[in-house]
Amino acid sequence: MYRKPVFWVVLLCIAGLAAASIGLLGGTRQHAELTEEDYARQYINRNIKQYQSEWPDVRITDSRIITFEKTAEFDHLLAAPVQIWRLEYRLTPDDPGKLMLPGGMQAIDGLITEDGSMGKPALVFSYQDSVPEYLGEVWSGENDLTRPAGQEMALRKFFEGKGQLPHETFSGSHILVKFPLSTGETSQLLLSQPSKRGDQGIWAVERWKDTRGNEYYHRPNTEETLSAYYASLQTMADQGTDKSLLDPLQVAIQYIKSELGQPVSRDKLVMVYQATVADFAVSPESSLLGYVTDLALDSDTMNFDQVEWLTLEDKDRMKSLNITEDQMPGGFYILNKYAVNDPYKLTAETQYKLIDRDNPGSVKSVSKQEFIEYFQQFTGFAPPCSITVSNYAVHIITEQYVP
């Protein structure tokens, strides 16, 4: 359903806020009678109610819609059509001097804008028999809401989060590619065939995930829709103009280099063919080296200061850091360029391991208390540890041997 942009003014008085907060203006209109404008008004009124609970000394005396217009429509995501509507508004406080705006919120000429910590909101509607239903909002700070590909990706993330879409942009065959970041953490790509299946179908990275469980969606740099963009790339492969996208390994390497800006070599990649969405959902496991701090018996968290372990074989890295062999009398160098203590979770399943002095080259499992007591003996330099982590949780902490 297409509607022209709607511009309207809503005057709110304090006496009317209680009626607005029940969900329907006046409480008399039926759900099926609500328009997009009604839902937008409810959205603004909910924000007013929240602001007045946070700023009890500030009264919002009126609100004004600046822009409310449909910016995108998609028919292939859900069974019903879905639309995105851009919303801009201004709220008038009785005393702008009392405002204490948190990060992301803005005021222009003393008027509160729609801006928040995640950018600007856009309202999402679905339609059944041309009747709109408000589903929620997507934000400009997290998405590119100015172009079709970005708008579709924003809606996919939105509906995946609600369980209304599977966690895949393109169904069919998938390949999982695990690779190390320059920080030492392991990340993974999900490759799919967006246009054609089988040996003649191109491959594309649709999303990637880091060892902390954060998922990042790939948004092509195009003014086209996703289907049109990948169809044109498939045509180029069919015509022999560019067949590089037929090789998933090349696709993965190019993405890691150009999109993520990470160095990569083929021998560092782990390709998992015939992967599933469930395989990608499992966060990759990383092994990191650094110093454990703030480890206490009664705490389920710890801090970790990650370092880089260099040996004489890392000549290119040594050269870039101006480190000479004279600085490596033991054949190694521990680089702690940034002393950053990252927090990690400990669980009942976390394993603690120390070097077994009775069996050179071996480690032994100990209790958390024994591990803590062992490291309490060090008043200056303490040995580094390697930790195996995923999703911010530590699975194994192991004392690192230092020659």
115-129 pLDDT, tens digit each = 999 999 999 999 999
| Co-location of 373 and 271 in the same domain | no
The stretch 88-116 carries a mean pLDDT of 91
User: What is the C-alpha to C-alpha distance for residues 82 and 72, in angstroms, rounded to an integer?
Assistant: 8
Q: What is the pLDDT of residues 250-275, one digit of tens each?
A: 999 999 999 999 988 899 999 999 99
Asked if the model's pLDDT at residue 30 lies above 70, the reply is no
List, in sequence order, the alpha helices (H) in 162-304.
Answer: 226-238, 248-258, 277-281
| Co-location of 191 and 309 in the same domain | no
The answer to whether residue 167 sits within a structural domain is no
Range from 9-13, 223-227, 294-298 carrying the lowest mean pLDDT: 9-13
> Residue 299: what pLDDT?
95
| Co-location of 16 and 128 in the same domain | yes
User: What is the C-alpha to C-alpha distance for residues 26 and 17, in angstroms, rounded to an integer?
Assistant: 10
> Residue 9: what pLDDT?
32
48: tokens are: 């007013």
The answer to whether residue 382 sits within a structural domain is yes
- Give the helix, strand, coil percentages of the chain, each rounded to 5: 25, 35, 40
> Residue 10: what pLDDT?
31
> Residue 111: what pLDDT?
95
Last residue of a domain, one of 250, 281, 312: 281
| Co-location of 16 and 115 in the same domain | yes
- At residue 224, what is the residue type? E
| Co-location of 207 and 322 in the same domain | no
Asked if the model's pLDDT at residue 381 lies above 60, the reply is yes
Q: What is the pLDDT of residues 140-151, one digit of tens each?
A: 999 999 999 999
The answer to whether residue 1 sits within a structural domain is no
The stretch 13-36 carries a mean pLDDT of 50
The stretch 7-25 carries a mean pLDDT of 34
Last residue of a domain, one of 161, 189, 206: 161
The stretch 176-182 carries a mean pLDDT of 92
| Co-location of 315 and 231 in the same domain | no
Q: What is the pLDDT of residues 289-335, one digit of tens each?
A: 999 999 999 999 999 998 877 777 777 777 777 888 788 877 777 77
Give Cβ neighbours of residue 245 (< 8 Å, ≥ 6 apart). 202, 203, 204, 233, 237, 251
> Residue 202: what pLDDT?
98
Judging by DSSP bridges, how do beta strands 82-93 and 111-113 pair with one another? antiparallel
Q: Which of 182, 216, 215, 213 is nearest to 344 (CA)?
A: 213
Arithmetic mean of pLDDT over the chain: 88
| Co-location of 247 and 272 in the same domain | yes
- The total number of structural domains in the chain stands at 3
Residue indicated by tokens 């390949």:
175
| Co-location of 137 and 16 in the same domain | yes
| Co-location of 277 and 241 in the same domain | yes
Range from 39-53, 124-138, 175-189, 306-320 carrying the lowest mean pLDDT: 306-320
Asked if the model's pLDDT at residue 98 lies above 80, the reply is yes
3-state DSSP assignment of residue 28: coil
> Residue 338: what pLDDT?
67
In this predicted model, which residue has the larger pLDDT, 90 or 57?
90
| Co-location of 252 and 309 in the same domain | no
Judging by DSSP bridges, how do beta strands 393-399 and 341-355 pair with one another? parallel
- Model confidence band, residue 31 (pLDDT cutoffs 50, 70, 90): low
- Model confidence band, residue 25 (pLDDT cutoffs 50, 70, 90): very low
Range from 9-23, 66-80, 348-362, 377-391 carrying the lowest mean pLDDT: 9-23
> Residue 28: what pLDDT?
45
- Model confidence band, residue 7 (pLDDT cutoffs 50, 70, 90): very low
The answer to whether residue 180 sits within a structural domain is yes
Asked if the model's pLDDT at residue 363 lies above 70, the reply is yes
Asked if the model's pLDDT at residue 357 lies above 80, the reply is yes
> Residue 34: what pLDDT?
94
Give Cβ neighbours of residue 110 (< 8 Å, ≥ 6 apart). 92, 93, 96
The answer to whether residue 210 sits within a structural domain is yes
| Co-location of 52 and 65 in the same domain | yes
The answer to whether residue 290 sits within a structural domain is yes
The answer to whether residue 97 sits within a structural domain is yes
* Residue 56 buriedness (CB in 10 A; 0-12 / 13-18 / 19+): exposed
Last residue of a domain, one of 252, 281, 310: 281
Asked if the model's pLDDT at residue 4 lies above 70, the reply is no
Structural domain span for residue 290: 286-399
Q: Which of 176, 187, 186 is nearest to 273 (CA)?
A: 176
The answer to whether residue 168 sits within a structural domain is no
| Co-location of 258 and 137 in the same domain | no
225: tokens are: 């829709």
Give Cβ neighbours of residue 256 (< 8 Å, ≥ 6 apart). 179, 189, 262, 264
- Model confidence band, residue 62 (pLDDT cutoffs 50, 70, 90): very high
Asked if the model's pLDDT at residue 179 lies above 90, the reply is yes
